[in-house]
Amino acid sequence: MKIAVSAMGDDLNSMLDVRFGRCNYFVIYDSEDGLIKSIENSGQMAGGGAGVAAAQQILDEDVEAVITGNMGPNAFRLFQSSDIKVYRCESMKVKKAVQFFNEGKLQELNTAGPAHAGMGRGAGRGFRGGR
């Protein structure tokens, strides 16, 4: 089973980024063969629709579960309609988040958070407020 984790860096020792659409990387962990792959999030610098762009990348990777902090309404709708489960996690190392997931300690995210919540902190520099 492939799991994608929104992260600040590109390996298992990086911190999980609680923002979905505006995170730097997705670390993808395959629980069957233990392989790790990381992809740079093309949504981080998007003018708008960051979450949608990020979700498209994850859909293309054939993952079955996503671990992140919060997710906006657009990306959430996409994963719901694609039967991909989204799990909520606090900020911790990606390695630990995956471990928590395997132990069944993570809760499934049932509702989308507010739109544009991941802006600011310098990551959303390219955002123009949708105007």
Partner 1 sequence: MQEWAGVLAGDLGEEDRLNIAVLSGKGGTGKTTIATNLSVVTAANYIDCDVEEPNGFIFLNPAQIISQAVKVDYPVIDRKRCTLCGDCAKICQFNALVKTKKEVILFEKLCHSCHACRIACKHEAITFAKRTIGAIEEGQAGDLICRRGILQIGEPMAVPVIKALLENLPAGINLLDCAAGTSCNVVSSLHYADGAVLVTEPSAFGLHDLKMAVKLVRNFNLPFGVIVNKYNGDDRIQKFCQEENIPVLGTITYQRKAAEVYSAGKVLVELSVYKKEFCKIAEGMRGVFPWNWQ
The residues that touch partner 1, with contacts defined as CB under 8 A, are: 43, 46-50, 52-53, 55-56, 59, 74, 77-78, 81-82, 128-131
Nearer to partner 1, 9 or 49 (CB): 49
Residues 6+ apart with CB under 8 A from 24: 7, 8, 9, 10, 17, 40, 41, 44, 123
Nearer to partner 1, 28 or 46 (CB): 46
Taking the complex as a whole, the smallest distance from the CB of residue 84 to partner 1 amounts, in Å, to 9
Taking the complex as a whole, the smallest distance from the CB of residue 91 to partner 1 amounts, in Å, to 26
Nearer to partner 1, 66 or 97 (CB): 66
